[in-house]
Amino acid sequence: MADVYTVTFIIIGILLSVPALLVAFNLLMPQVTQRAYTRLDQTPIKSFFLGLPVAGFIALYSLVAFQASAGLLQTTAFIVAIGGLGIGSIGGAGMARLLAARLTPLANPNSNLTNLLRGAVLYEMACLVPFVGWFLFIPIAGITAVGAAAFALLGWVPKGKVSDGRSDREQLAVSSVS
């Protein structure tokens, strides 16, 4: 019975910590998550097609190198896997920001942080839907988020983006209000 409680509380802990991680990435790395948000908002198809080889390389390298008998190769596989999870988390933070911007007109006037948390929880809950969430939403949204994060980390923004001289924080506030 203790094993059941352990697994239950681990799952509850993960469910509570994922939105916090996505909000923390948005607060700690606003420029990067703003670029990922911009990519997800303006060029999701390009993000998906960049995410395919990036996620494929990370997954394939990690799976193959974990099977190697050399300890150094297994260590690099672990480092690549953790880096891939970090890239996916940055993309997930951009996705949470996108959902927050799209939720703002539907919700009562709230703070940007509340809307960002709502976006992160909505993203997490969509991933938890049996079958459709697991086998359709997670792969498509995850690959697209990885592609958007790769674009964001490289600093590549869409060509049509016009900067109005505002900081990323002001742009998030404006996009959350409008």
Separation of alpha carbons 12 and 174, rounded Å: 34
User: Are the CB atoms for 123 and 99 separated by under 8 Å?
Assistant: yes
The model's pTM: 0.85
Q: How many CB atoms lie within 10 A of CB 59?
A: 13
pLDDT the model gives residue 174? 47
Separation of alpha carbons 60 and 2, rounded Å: 36
pLDDT digits (tens, 9 = 90+) for 48-105: 999 999 999 999 999 999 998 889 999 999 999 999 999 999 999 999 999 999 999 9
User: Are the CB atoms for 108 and 166 separated by under 8 Å?
Assistant: no
CA distances, 57 to each of 51, 80, 122 (Å)? 10, 10, 28
DSSP letter for 108, please.
Answer: P
DSSP helix, strand, coil percent of the chain (3-state; round to 5): 80, 0, 20
Give 98's Cβ-side CA count (13 Å radius): 22
Would you place residue 165 in the very low, low, confident or very high pLDDT band (cuts 50, 70, 90)?
very low
